[in-house]
Amino acid sequence: MKNKKTKVINHIRDLNPDTKNFRRHTPAGMGMIEQSLKEVGAARSVVIDENNVIMAGNAAVEAAGNAGIARVRVIDADGTEIIAVRRKGLTDKQKTRLALFDNRTNELSDFDNAALLELHAELPDMCKGIFSDEYLAEMQETMAAAIAGENSDNPYTSKVESPIYTPKGDKPKLSELFDLTRYSKLIAEIDKSELADDEKAFLRFAACRHIVFNYQNIAEYYSHLEKDSQNLFENSALVIIDFKKAIELGFVRLTQALAETYSDDTK
């Protein structure tokens, strides 16, 4: 059995996040990773390159820092062996909890489709064998349709199919309404740059476009608010309403005039 070189990085901040990370983690997912680290400790390994750039496990490293884990043990490997992390001292309950945390956090993230399509356009072979041609084509069509809608001369249409979210009773945390992962990375890059202050200010505003909103959680949160607060959410276009189901779901009350106007427009 080969002896693998082992060393310790004294602080987790010495690891460098992947600026082209293709995975997006929701606030709920990040919160669950952090909760897992606090409850049962670290177990799964991450992958870094020779320059300490994280190739896999960006979210785990970020959550570990938030959970107060600073030290990083590095095992140099050449890819010919599986690296297994043996966790000791866990109770049977903790072992089960660890396994559940690990599986659930994978479900609470998705891919940055725009970044994937950009990579596929530049280097088609990168996605080969990982994403099917059908999957990429469907993703491209979805993105194209979204862009076409944004660029339409007539932003008002009766052919809108809005998602319908039915409140289930539990009010989410504010942190579960949005994901700042990509936004935070951009802000960090902007702050480190040597651009002029006015250029940095402009780019900070532009970076807001990369804040990802969880509209299902927003709708759930909205359903617990007082009317004045709900109006602000509606005015901010944070709540997407299907007029046909609005009264049924209790999200809004349509005036008779508005209802008649909508009815005339869709005949």
Positive or negative: CA dihedral 108, 111, 112, 113: negative
Residue 135: is its pLDDT beyond 70?
yes
* pLDDT score, position 76: 87
Greatest Cα-to-Cα distance within the chain, rounded to the nearest angstrom: 79
Q: Angle CA(95)–CA(98)–CA(104) in degrees, nearest 5?
A: 140
Lowest mean pLDDT among 8-12, 185-189, 231-235, 239-243: 239-243
Residue with tokens 């998602």: 163
Measured distance CA(180)–CA(47) in Å, rounded: 23
pLDDT of residue 27: 77
Mean pLDDT across the chain: 76
Higher-pLDDT residue of 168 and 92 is 92
Q: Where does the pLDDT of residue 161 fall: very low under 50, low under 70, confident under 90, or very high at 90 and above?
A: very low
Angle formed by the axes of helices 92-107 and 27-40, nearest 10°: 160
Helices 27-40 and 58-66 pack at an angle, to 10 degrees, of 60
72 φ/ψ angles, rounded to the nearest 5 degrees: -130, 120
Mean pLDDT over 228-245 rounds to 68
Nearest residue to 104 (alpha-carbon basis) of 36, 38, 177, 182? 36
Residue 100 CB neighbour total at 10 angstroms: 12
Neighbours of 28 (CB within 10 A): 19
Give the pLDDT confidence of 23-61 residue by residue, as tens digits: 777 777 788 888 888 888 888 888 988 888 888 888 888
Whether the predicted model's global pTM rises above the 0.95 cut: no
Q: Is 79 helix (H, G, I), strand (E, B) or coil?
A: coil
pLDDT exceeds cutoff 60 at 159: no
What per-residue confidence (pLDDT) applies to 4?
A: 56
Write down the pLDDT at residue 203.
92
- Of the candidates 215, 216, 189, the residue with the CA atom closest to the CA atom of residue 203: 189
- The pLDDT assigned to 92 comes to 92
Judged against a pLDDT cut of 70, whether residue 251 lies above it is answered with no
The mean pLDDT value for 228-257 works out to 58
* Distances 147 to 75, 135, 139, 150, 153 between C-alpha atoms, Å: 45, 18, 12, 5, 12
Contact 211, 180 (CB under 8 A): yes
% of the chain residues with pLDDT over 90: 3
Q: Across residues 105-129, what is the average pLDDT?
A: 78
Beta bridge partners of 6: 75
Residue 80: pLDDT over 80: yes
Does 151 or 76 have the greater pLDDT score? 76
Q: Does the pLDDT of residue 78 top 80, yes or no? A: yes
Cα–Cα dist 197/208, whole Å = 17
Name which of 233, 247, 250, 103 is nearest 177 in CA terms.
233
Q: What is the pLDDT of residue 149?
A: 56
What average pLDDT does the segment 205-220 reach?
A: 85
